[in-house]
Amino acid sequence: MGQSQSQESNRIVILGKTGVGKSGVANTIFGEKVFKAISSTKSGTSTCQAETRYVHGRSITLVDTPGFFDTYTSEEKLKSEIIRCIIECAPGPNAFLIVFKVRRFTEQEQAVITKISQYFFEEVFKYATVLFTHGDQLDKGQTIKQFVQQNQLARDLVKKCGGRCHVIDNRYWENNQQDEYRSNQFQVKELLNTIDEMVKANKGSYYTNEMLQG
């Protein structure tokens, strides 16, 4: 397992099903439209895209990946593209964001988790944080942790990821000053703090291509 040699950029790979808003998540974290986001079930990302910006006092590299179960991308192409992104994210990502919409967890969401396990093996969850989009779908006053508690599949996944879960809303929470919780700026800060703590707990180690090979 590799070790980081310096205070280099946190390298974060974004994973999820087509249409959950992965590119929008990257734009929300950076606070600018760097990644191409398409509001439809057709994937806006067919190849991995990596960008680095300075956010809340630290350097962040975000890697947007093609969506799982994208009807326009073959399984073989998807896997080879994701492997390429791990290799190119040298020396390896030290964090993964697994992205879902705020909605009832079903077999579809479970299929994404299964696919991530198949591609990356269980080791990936040690480096993963669950991030929900469409936070405006939460009930009034509801937190994402309360939402997760209502569903066994979501609970199990968040537990696998060390209890790490956050929520943003790519569209409606941009300039919300009334409710701190429903503010992307607040949530991005919290998310990046969680990732910093996780990287520290992992002693600066990162996910390597050897782990991918099993």
Residue 17 placed within a domain: yes
In terms of pLDDT, which residue wins out, 148 or 9?
148
Backbone φ and ψ for 10, nearest 5 degrees, come out as -70, 125
- Where in 23-163 does DSSP place strands (E)? 49-55, 58-64, 95-101, 128-133
Q: Residue 187's pLDDT is what? A: 95
Share of the chain above pLDDT 70, in %: 88
Summarize pLDDT for 89-114 with one digit per residue, the tens.
888 899 999 999 998 888 889 999 99
Q: What residue numbers bound the domain in which 85 lies?
A: 10-213
How is residue 145 annotated by DSSP?
H
Task: Write the CATH number for 106.
Answer: 3.40.50.300
CA separation for the pair 123, 79 (Å, rounded) = 17
Task: Report whether the peptide linkage leading into residue 93 is cis, meaning its omega lies within 30 degrees of zero.
Answer: no
Average pLDDT over residues 200-212: 84
5 within a domain of the structure (yes/no): no
Q: Hey, what amino acid is at 54?
A: Y
Residue 37 lies in a domain: yes
Q: Is 3 inside any structural domain?
A: no
CB 78 within 8 A of CB 66: yes
Domain count, the chain: 1
Domain annotation covers residue 2: no
Look at residue 62 and give its three-state secondary structure. strand
Is residue 133 a part of any domain in this protein? yes
Average pLDDT, integer, range 33-56: 75
- Residue 95 counted as domain residue: yes
| Mean pLDDT of the residues in the chain | 86
pLDDT score, position 6: 42
Confidence of residue 154 (pLDDT cuts 50, 70, 90): very high
Q: Per DSSP, which regions of the chain are E strands?
A: 10-16, 49-55, 58-64, 95-101, 128-133, 165-167
